[in-house]
Amino acid sequence: MDRRTFTSLSAAALLCAPRQISAQQPQHVTIIGAGSAGMTAAYHLTKAGIQTQILEAANDWGGRVKRLSGFADVPLDLGAEWIHDDPGVLGRILGQGETDLGVRTIDYRPQTYQFWHKNQLNDFNALRNFYQEVKFYDTTWYGYFEKFILPAVNDKVALGAVVTQVAAQGTHLSVRLSDGRTLETDKVLVTVPLSVLQRGQITFSDELTPPDMAALQDIDYGSGFKAFLRFNQRFYPDILFEGSRASVLADTWAEKIYYDAAFGKPTRQNILGLFSVSEGPTRRSVLADDALINDILTELTEIFGEVVRDTYVGGVVQNWSAERYILGSYSMENNSGYDVGDILKPVAGKVFFAGEALGGDAQSTVHGAAFSAISAVDKMLA
């Protein structure tokens, strides 16, 4: 948890906007994936005067940034939620320096903590003195990209465009789609989740294949889901952990956290969130949404009693492991012996990579994905 909660940016160059266009720079760049990295890259390429297109396999942009509207009287993040840095990172993503852009945020400091361990519910409120974060007040990560980045790139996004191959074609590149179309471009930026590359859903011609691509198989890409449940009475703490204190505070990628999703937000509704990720598949990751909600309610009833079922209003699940073009949560432990930046380094000055897996100290975060995209654009324009 600490690894993803208290992150810092170590390379000052990532905080700057890309260099300006020169005669040797590409006239056309194709970006594969319209998530945080892809949208950020398109924004900066467009500002630099580069003709850009984004090919997104899904039917909406955003990738693992997704908004839930209508379930509560405030929008909720079905994907990435915490900002994991100070609010000034919102301006740095746009190359505008240290500024929150006027976006309202929460000094997220939960006050009540409980642990469910060996069929006992125990308080551990001392954690309030150690954990502090930043979250959005009345918007979401999706709302941030929608307001500040989408207007500049909306006409460049092609949805339902499933890329299957990137190949050399003379001095240019060809990008093949699943519908048989082939598009020509100067350079390609691949921003898809690591899982898509691991499963070979996109192939590269021999001269464009990263030489150590096989090492990607040794990087854990976790399973994961989020759920939101609404109740007409609050019976839960700000944070609820399952397991012993030692297991919860251990340095591991696996997390299962119930949390008050309405904490600090402009609502009086009772919204309980569940964030669950693991290095490998879990029993719940293969359940249908209705079965998953019922399983959560059963667990909560065991912890809190019949008040759970008596006050339950409704629930929503976002099972990221079941999303066809995402297939999990985010990159985790690297067991390959190679740095992921070396595995996915630019190939032939034509194919570049970006995404949360390349976020360095900010791995698995939105801003890590965004800054990896800025770094890739900087290399393209060099």
User: pLDDT at position 24, please?
Assistant: 54
2, with CB counted inside 10 A (0-12, 13-18, 19+), is exposed
For 6-25, b where at least 16 C-beta lie within 10 A, e where not — what string? ebebeeeebbebbeeeeeeb
356, with CB counted inside 10 A (0-12, 13-18, 19+), is buried
- For every residue of 274-295, DSSP letters joined together read EEEEESS--TGGGS-HHHHHHH
Q: How far apart are CA 44 and CA 327, in angstroms?
A: 28
Mean pLDDT (the chain) is 93
Q: Is the pLDDT of residue 105 over 80?
A: yes
**Residue 247 contacts residue 257 (beta carbons within 8 Å):** no
pLDDT band at 382 (very low <50, low <70, confident <90, very high): confident
How many CB atoms are closer than 10 A to CB 341?
A: 14
Q: Report the Cα–Cα distance between both ends of the chain, in Å, rounded.
A: 36
Q: What is the pLDDT of residues 51-104, one digit of tens each?
A: 999 999 999 999 999 999 999 999 999 999 999 999 999 999 999 999 999 999
Q: Is the pLDDT of residue 3 over 90?
A: no
> Cα Rg for the chain, rounded, in angstroms?
21
Which of 126-130, 167-171, 359-363 bottoms out in mean pLDDT, i.e. has the lowest?
A: 126-130
User: pLDDT at position 211, please?
Assistant: 94
pTM over 0.95, yes/no: no
pLDDT band at 110 (very low <50, low <70, confident <90, very high): very high
Q: What is the pLDDT of residues 144-161, one digit of tens each?
A: 999 999 999 999 999 999
Tokens of 151: 């207007």
Provide the percentage of residues in the chain whose pLDDT is more than 90. 87
**77 bridge partner residues:** 67
DSSP 325: T
Number of H helices, E strands in the chain: 11, 22
User: pLDDT at position 306, please?
Assistant: 98
Provide the percentage of residues in the chain whose pLDDT is more than 70. 94
Average pLDDT over residues 290-297: 98
Q: What is the pLDDT of residues 8-21, one digit of tens each?
A: 333 333 344 444 43
Average pLDDT over residues 41-54: 97
Q: What is the pLDDT of residues 228-263, one digit of tens each?
A: 999 999 999 999 999 888 888 788 899 999 999 999
